[in-house]
Structure 1
Amino acid sequence: MLRSMYAGISGMKGFQTKLDVIGNNIANVNTVGFKKGRVTFQDMMSQTMSGAQGPTATRGGVNASQVGLGSQVGSIDNVHTQGFRQTTGRPLDLALEGDGMFVVASDLKNNDGEATMKNINLNQSNVSYTRAGNFYLDEEGSIVNPQGLYLIGFPAETNADGETTINDAKKSVISIPDTAQSFNIQTNGTVTVIDKDGNTKTVGQVALASFSNPGGLQKAGSNLFLNTENAGLYDNEDTDYIDLKTPDTDGTATIVSGSLEMSNVDLATAFTEMIVAQRGFQANTRIITTSDEILQELVNLKR
């Protein structure tokens, strides 16, 4: 059989995968916090017809003769570029400007494995990460995402002098008291409320997870990402410690309340890539057709 036929088949498989990724990008063009995918290709092993030879005293060198055996998918990347910001005016719609992700979790437990809403041990909880900032309040006033996962932050603690500070050594669920008349989320993630007496009180601060390689995150659906060993979340000195950061510090994002980060899919680019993938697929089918015609001619030699 002709090598060109198998090369054409490998090209068709690769471009089909590329079309699958492009189709998913276009389907999520209006998905909040969606990060587009990208497919890259690489050549497959080549068959060496003759090896390279170095020059001698009487003759020059000769290059190797190789025939490629097709292409294959090299990688399917998640591109974590900034999506455009859409203003909604809703106080619980939060957009991130810069690097970082919201931390959401369920099955919250403390260091002893007991269910809790404060002093949370994220290593024992079901933790996910997201750029989708459309949050809501549940019946108890806790801030949750559309799937009911709690937004994780740092608790506010009051000392003996009556001063309220943020304890960034602890993790807890951020809740709005029932007595609050209104609330506000600042650019550094600090959540303040105004009680029935008109006094301003800090109830917590939104925490962000910072990844050295966000492309290493694993998509889990529902606008959620899961951490992997290659995402770079864990501290190098202690791999059991999930390092959460304060917004607007150490290069992390700022929070814009009343806005949402939309998908980073560009339709013009997506349609251009779709046309290129379609023509590449068609070209590889032509290779198979041509190879089949050659085989037909060989069969006809018997006549």
Structure 2
Amino acid sequence: MMRSLYSGVSGVKGHQTRMDVVGNNIANVNTTGFKSGRVTFADTLSQTQSSASAPAGNLGGTNPKQIGLGVGVSTIDTLFTDGAVQATGKNTDLCLSGNGLFVVKNGNETYYTRNGAFEFDESGNYVMPGNGMKVQGWMGTNGTLSTTGAVTDIVIQNGKPMEAKATEQSIYSYNLKANPPIITEYSFTNGTTTYTRTSGTHDGYYVEASTSQPVTVTFSDGTKTTYTSGVYTIGRSLPVSTTFNYYDSLGTVHTATVLLEKAAVGAMSYTDENGNTQDNKTGTAWAVSLGSTAAVKETDGSTTNYSLGTHTLAFDENGVLRTATNFTPTDALTYDSDSAIAQADMSYEPDDITASSAATIKLTATVHAPNGSTRPQDITLDYSNVTSYADINTINATANGNAAGTLKSVSIDSSGVITGVYTNGVRQSEAQVAVAQFSNISGLTKTGSSLYQASNNSGTANVKTATDIGCSITPSALEMSNVDIANEFSDMIITQRGFQSNSKIITTSDEMLETMINMKR
């Protein structure tokens, strides 16, 4: 009789625990990043009246006779299913999806959380504003991120300055048209005399057009155009003008212009991608020249001189840029001495085709300040990404370097990279948020304030980027609680009925005990 009382008591206590968990779930239905819990029951020890016996002789086997002694709480599990994503519009809020947690620190103590309601404090620390714990990740260095080292506090001070950085490289990309029309003839009038130069007889002759000396140019496609500016060379294409902005050591912006002219060349030799030498191959070559040989006057009163030297870009028969040798130009450049514009007064002069080509060229810009000081600067022009296919001309140059600036805003992407936007227009990676993954995430210990700590059964934290461990981050959003109200209400009804049933066991057992006691009277 006493067994049923104890069984009823254990059932009441077990269902009370389950109701406590249900109540906690419902209380946290709107808690950011909250993970619901559940209770599972298991029967306790059973009292054996008789053991099982094996079949013997003419008798069959018998089963054991056991009386259960009640129920116990087997587990209280934390369910780490994803909650719904709720947009907030706050750019420092993060919603984490997948099997991972954010890493935060309080001194030397490390905690983990799904609550991504972060913001920057007065000192630029990226923190949980409710308790000041610092979000962990990897800090960038001049826009370069490395996630191989240990994590550290993320600190991005508002108004962070960026120093001016002189341009060191200008990278050319896309395509240089392989089949532009070639100049086959030009004519101009100097005074009362008209001069005509034609290919074959005057290959390599060049002249500059002006309003006082227009030049009529005939191309290989049969078209004819009259120009009042520019330099035109028999046997070459019209110059392709490429410009790019660059910065000096003080952060002052300048503009450089480089011209490319297709020229006729003979066979060439080059080394292919497999290291084999290819001889007597056909291809195309482009002469590289400065857009102006005169000093450029700057707005601050200084002047800038450019020096480029003589360079050639050579492309093979497949339009691939090669480090080529042994090709010979078919034109020798000759200034047209009948022109009214003296050679020394020309805006620029075309450069010769050299006997070899390379993918990188050095451009030197020297700023002459009004006080007499000079600031020379070398810029590498990198053409290694340029191709030369037919019909399209999309070549473009982009230089590095920047003026001085200050941080004005940040944005965060789905991999947790925090990008800073500066007043000088530069965008660079400032930091990346770390994400921890555990072998048994349900084994973490809750410490309150939506925080967890590692336990003996959670495993060791594997701290990586969100992408590395298969998680994703939604910026400007928070993860809602994963509590399902309908499910909790159903559990509450079931738990209530279980509690009532076990209470009835106690009262019924008590009545039976009372009846037994009354039998003596």
Match of residue 141 from structure 2: 157
Match of residue 183 from structure 1: 410
Q: Does 1:276 align with 2:494?
A: yes
Aligned equivalents of 2:40 and 2:496: distance in 1?
15
Give per-residue Cα distances to partners, 1:40-85, cap 9 Å, x unaligned.
0000111111111100111111111111110000011111111111
Deviation of 1:18 (Å): 0.3
Where in structure 2 are the equivalents of 1:34-49 lying within 5 Å? 34-49=34-49
Aligned equivalents of 1:148 and 1:165: distance in 2?
25
AA in 1 matched with 2:469: D
Aligned equivalents of 1:38 and 1:85: distance in 2?
22
Which moved further from structure 2: 171-180 or 127-136? Answer: 171-180
Deviation of 1:144 (Å): 0.2
Which of 228, 244, 268 is the matching residue for 2:463? 244
Deviation of 1:87 (Å): 0.8
Which of 120, 130, 135 is the matching residue for 1:137? 120
Where in structure 2 are the equivalents of 1:103-118 lying within 5 Å? 103-107=103-107
Deviation of 1:232 (Å): 1.9
Q: SS of the counterpart of 2:148?
A: coil
Aligned equivalents of 1:106 and 1:47: distance in 2?
51
Q: SS of the counterpart of 1:129?
A: strand
Q: Does 1:169 align with 2:169?
A: no
Where in structure 2 are the equivalents of 1:60-75 lying within 5 Å? 60-75=60-75
Q: SS of the counterpart of 2:430?
A: strand
Q: Does 1:222 align with 2:440?
A: no
Q: Does 1:194 align with 2:194?
A: no
Deviation of 1:155 (Å): 1.6
Aligned equivalents of 1:168 and 1:256: distance in 2?
23
The answer for unaligned runs of 5 or more in structure 2 is: 160-406
Contact 1:37-1:78 within 8 A present in 2 as well: yes
Aligned equivalents of 1:49 and 1:147: distance in 2?
58
Per the normalisation by structure 2, the TM-score is: 0.51
Give per-residue Cα distances to partners, 1:83-113, cap 9 Å, x unaligned.
1111111111100121210000021xxxxxx
Aligned equivalents of 1:167 and 1:57: distance in 2?
74
Deviation of 1:175 (Å): 2.1
Identity %: 46
Aligned equivalents of 2:147 and 2:520: distance in 1?
86
Match of residue 52 from structure 1: 52
Q: Which runs of 4 or more aligned residues in structure 1 lie more than 3 Å from their structure 2 counterparts after TM superposition?
A: none
Aligned equivalents of 2:505 and 2:62: distance in 1?
30
Match of residue 509 from structure 2: 291
Aligned equivalents of 1:78 and 1:2: distance in 2?
35
Q: SS of the counterpart of 1:284?
A: helix
Match of residue 166 from structure 2: none
Contact 1:152-1:207 within 8 A present in 2 as well: yes
Match of residue 301 from structure 1: 519
Q: SS of the counterpart of 1:154?
A: strand
Per the normalisation by structure 1, the TM-score is: 0.87
Which moved further from structure 2: 224-233 or 256-265? Answer: 224-233
AA in 2 matched with 1:258: S
Q: SS of the counterpart of 2:140?
A: strand
AA in 2 matched with 1:130: T
Aligned equivalents of 1:137 and 1:185: distance in 2?
13
Aligned equivalents of 2:3 and 2:158: distance in 1?
72
Which moved further from structure 2: 214-223 or 149-158? Answer: 149-158
Q: SS of the counterpart of 1:184?
A: strand
Shift in alpha-carbon separation, 1:65–1:185, aligned structure 2, 3 A: same
Aligned equivalents of 2:480 and 2:496: distance in 1?
27
Deviation of 1:177 (Å): 2.8
The answer for unaligned runs of 5 or more in structure 1 is: 108-124, 235-242
Q: SS of the counterpart of 1:11?
A: helix
Which has more helix, going by share of residues? 1
Larger Rg computed on CA atoms: 2
Aligned equivalents of 1:178 and 1:302: distance in 2?
87
Which has more strand, going by share of residues? 2
Q: SS of the counterpart of 2:458?
A: coil
Which moved further from structure 2: 194-203 or 142-151? Answer: 194-203
AA in 1 matched with 2:144: T
Give per-residue Cα distances to partners, 1:92-142, cap 9 Å, x unaligned.
1100121210000021xxxxxxxxxxxxxxxxx111000000001111111
Contact 1:209-1:233 within 8 A present in 2 as well: no
Deviation of 1:291 (Å): 0.6
